Amino acid sequence: MPFIVWNDRLSVGVAGIDHDHRRLVEILNDLYEAMGNGRNKQILGQLLDELVDYACYHFEREEGMFRADYGEALDHKAEHENFVAWITETQSRFMEGSAAAPSLEVVNYLKDWLFDHILGRDRRLGAHLNELGFH
């Protein structure tokens, strides 16, 4: 059983955004699995890197879909930025520290953040884009 099982409740109704979210879930599942399998620090660090990189790519893509009348643009962007700051900081603390793996708190935080963000900000963005005819 993967850490996160994708379900349609997570869909925001815009194909490109859903595609990226599935990929983020996949990387997080890979990280969780690698931790469970006792993979070495280098591999775990690479998976965290991949998550940071893909999250940045996805946020930029999503922000590129913000339309002029999307009232949550600034708050939405700030949530992305706070997340990138947190995960970048967590990543470097892990790589410089003595821990062999990120803690469960870290992966749980990543999961909770992703769910909260998708079900809140991203779903409202999706609904807004749907109204404008984007799917």
Nearest residue to 15 via CA among 67, 73, 65, 60: 65
What string marks each residue from 52 to 91 as x (binds Fe ion by CB under 5 A) or -?
----------x-----------------------------
Tokens of 83: 């997340």
Q: How far is the CB of 59 from Fe ion (least distance, A)?
A: 6
Q: How many chain residues bind Fe ion (CB under 5 A)?
A: 2
C-alpha to C-alpha distances, 46 to 53, 56, 101, 117, nearest whole angstrom: 10, 15, 12, 24
Tell me: does residue 18 bind Fe ion (CB under 5 A): no
Q: What angle do CA 77, 51, 57 make, to 5 degrees?
A: 45
d(CA 3, CA 98): 25
Comparing CB distances to Fe ion, the nearer of 84 and 95 is 84
Comparing CB distances to Fe ion, the nearer of 62 and 90 is 62
Q: How far is the CB of 77 from Fe ion (least distance, A)?
A: 9
Given the rule CB under 5 A, which of 1-9, 45-53, 93-101, 121-129 is the region that contacts Fe ion? Answer: 121-129
Tell me: does residue 122 bind Fe ion (CB under 5 A): yes
User: Hey, how many other C-beta atoms are within 10 angstroms of the C-beta on 36?
Assistant: 10
Which stretches of the chain bind Fe ion, using CB under 5 A?
Answer: 62, 122
